[in-house]
Amino acid sequence: MVRAIVGANWGDEGKGKITDMLAAKADIIIRFQGGSNAGHTIINKYGKFALHLLPSGVFYDHTTSVIGNGVALNIPYLIKEINEIVEKGVPRPKILVSDRAQLLMPYHILQDTYEEARLAGKAYGSTKSGIAPFYSDKFAKIGIQVSELFDDEILEEKVEKICTLKNVMFKHLYHMPELDKTELMNTLHEYRDMIEPFVCDVSAYLYKAIKEGKSILLEGQLGSLKDPDHGIYPMVTSSSTLAAYGAIGAGIAPYEISDITTVVKAYSSAVGAGEFVSEILDEAVADELRRRGGDGGEFGATTGRPRRMGWFDAVASRYGVRIQGTTEVALTVLDVLGYLDEIPVCVGYDINGEITKDFPTTNKLKLAKPVYEYLPGWKCDIRGIKEYDKLPENCRKYIEFIEKELEVPVKLVSNGPGRDDIIYR
């Protein structure tokens, strides 16, 4: 059985916790897209962790963690992450890396940094992790596959082509030092030695695992609204954040994905630029929610940047759930809202005087104003509650209101940051 765990919104929904929790009964956990540009925060018996490349089920000794072919593979970052969790007492995980994954190189990070500086006030809010240049090179066919690390003839040809193209840009557009071919080859040889123990034909491995009836989790990065096709383009990421891409980014048949758990936040938050209709514009109100939010405040797990805060957006979330093909919703950080007398929920967008409940394209999104309904708060701490009917009545009404708006059942309710702070409906 293959289950995808993905986000409905801008990312930061709490997918890491849900993956970590469901991994208890899984055999294999796969990262299928993205890179080290976003983090998943996990709190368990070993402590608190912010994972970036490693799948969030890496803390169980019965699981295999896989880096799929769709991932932007920063090899030193991956090795560093493995070593960091082991140093904190986590058993050394079993890791497999697809031989078809492509390498995120130091020059990608340089190019990302240079381009953001060049764009200045019109920048895209990149984390400067090299993600956009990486995927650009992949589709321009000058990327380097893991398998190619073991063939110097191919590498030398690639390095020649890469340096020719990049150095024109670095010298004449960015006015920065050029790449050195010998240094680049040496780096690639270092990467080969670092990654060799983990390399695997992941697609063949997963084909066999599926035939054997193994339980497999596909873990997505970010959320629906950051998808380059269906998100708030151009303020998006550079790989597909949708469950459908899980089949491509892992190397399995699309019909094998039988369950799609989409993680939805009980309020909204976003890191970086882009349209955000339900954003709280009163900074004092936003900061109150930010300080109370998440497991230690709403700050980016990768960048540390304070997240932009908003109320629950039913229009964006319904769209995000639909575009993922959701079979069930996991609603997270519900406990955070216990301090409020009433809770605004964005139920529609006013665009030039017309009310819509359908999520529009970005050019129209810029014109949208939120239409709110106000629900009564429950004014108490709900952490520690394990049964749905033990939740305060207004809390249950809030969940059921969201469920009606999403048009998909809310099966999991997270009421705290810990692995066991969960209610099954």
Over the chain (425 residues), the average pLDDT of each successive run of 10 is 96 89 94 85 85 90 96 96 94 96 97 88 71 94 97 96 95 95 97 98 98 97 95 93 98 97 96 88 94 81 80 98 98 96 98 97 95 97 95 98 98 91 94
Selecting from 1.10.300.10, 3.30.70.580, 3.20.19.10, 3.90.1330.10, what CATH number does the domain 102-195 have?
A: 1.10.300.10
- Tell me the Cα Rg of the chain: 22
Catalytic site residue from 27, 40, 52, 227: 40
Residue 12 assigned ligand-binding role: yes
What does the alpha-carbon distance between residue 290 and residue 296 come to, in Å, rounded to a whole number? Answer: 9
Residue 302 assigned ligand-binding role: yes
- In order of 26, 55, 230, 410, the CA distances from 316 in angstroms are 30, 26, 11, 16
Domain(s) of CATH 1.10.300.10: residues in the chain: 102-195
pLDDT of residue 268: 96
Catalytic site residue from 12, 99, 112, 421: 12
40 as an active site residue: the answer is yes
**Superfamily (CATH) of domain 264-424:** Adenylosuccinate Synthetase, subunit A, domain 3 (3.90.170.10)
- In order of 149, 194, 205, the CA distances from 190 in angstroms are 10, 6, 26
Domain(s) of CATH 3.40.440.10: residues in the chain: 2-98+200-261
Residue 335 assigned ligand-binding role: yes
What does the alpha-carbon distance between residue 58 and residue 78 come to, in Å, rounded to a whole number? Answer: 12
pLDDT of residue 274: 83
Fold of 2-98+200-261: Adenylosuccinate Synthetase; Chain A, domain 1 (3.40.440)
Secondary structure letter of residue 262 according to DSSP: E
> DSSP secondary structure string, 285-326?
HHHHHHHHSTTTSSB-TTT-PBPEEE-EEHHHHHHHHHHHT-
Closest CA to 310 of 341, 289, 332, 329: 289
Q: pTM (2 decimals)?
A: 0.92
What does the alpha-carbon distance between residue 388 and residue 53 come to, in Å, rounded to a whole number? Answer: 34
Query: Are the C-beta atoms of residues 357 and 313 closer than 8 Å to each other?
Result: no
Query: Are the C-beta atoms of residues 62 and 98 closer than 8 Å to each other?
Result: no
What does the alpha-carbon distance between residue 242 and residue 113 come to, in Å, rounded to a whole number? Answer: 27
Domain(s) of CATH 3.90.170.10: residues in the chain: 264-424
Query: Are the C-beta atoms of residues 96 and 205 closer than 8 Å to each other?
Result: yes
Give the H or E element holding residue 57. Answer: none
CB atoms within 10 A of CB 212: 8
What does the alpha-carbon distance between residue 57 and residue 40 come to, in Å, rounded to a whole number? Answer: 11
pLDDT of residue 20: 87
pLDDT of residue 47: 87
Residue 37 assigned ligand-binding role: yes
pLDDT of residue 126: 67
Is the bond preceding residue 76 a cis peptide, omega within 30 degrees?
A: no
12 as an active site residue: the answer is yes
What does the alpha-carbon distance between residue 264 and residue 316 come to, in Å, rounded to a whole number? Answer: 11
Residue 80 assigned ligand-binding role: no
What does the alpha-carbon distance between residue 83 and residue 18 come to, in Å, rounded to a whole number? Answer: 23
Closest CA to 118 of 177, 34, 176: 176
